[in-house]
Amino acid sequence: MERRKFMLAAGTGAVVAVAGCSGGGGGGGGDFDTSSPTAVVESFYQIGDGLDQDSSVDDLLDTIEPGLHSASPLPDLLEQAEDQSADQAAGQQQSLSSVSAEVTEENIGADRLSQEFGLGFSGVSQEDIDTIAEENAVVEATVEYEDSPTQNPQHLTATENGDWLIVV
């Protein structure tokens, strides 16, 4: 699979995982910590853990959008995948055990963002790609849910108005 499709699929999959595997009423909720790339990714999973498995896509988006960059294609991708993800999420309700994150790469150029990370492919404007290229980081998360294998999704993060936010 091409890297751009992989990154978009991984990003969408992580959002679906947050919705489908959240325990509901557990340790989630609260505000995003946008002080660093790793903090926003860890917050994404912790806040998502507070969602019910039966939460609507609108509820999910209301919960995660404060942690998303304004150029993120994830809201559109999630809405497009709504029917499919509802079928896949059935019976997967789990509670988050732990999450940690590590920066694996920094300051990726506009060409790589567009081509390898799928931003051009997903309809993000060249102006937004150039803005994201100014300061960004790839973060690998280590996510553990109870009775489930460890997951290691990657997220592209970038600054916006001084805050670190998730792009994909």
Res 73: pLDDT? 92
pTM for this structure?
0.80
Strand partners, 144: 98
Q: What sign for the dihedral angle of Cα 31, 36, 39, 44?
A: positive
Rounded Cα distance, 48 and 107, in Å: 27
- Distances in Å between the Cα of 103 and the Cα atoms of 42, 144, 145, 163 are 12, 18, 21, 16
Would you give per-residue pLDDT tens digits along the chain (168 residues)?
444 444 444 454 555 455 444 444 334 446 899 999 999 999 999 998 878 777 788 888 889 999 999 999 999 888 777 656 545 544 456 789 999 999 999 999 999 999 888 898 888 999 999 999 999 999 999 999 888 899 999 999 999 999 999 999
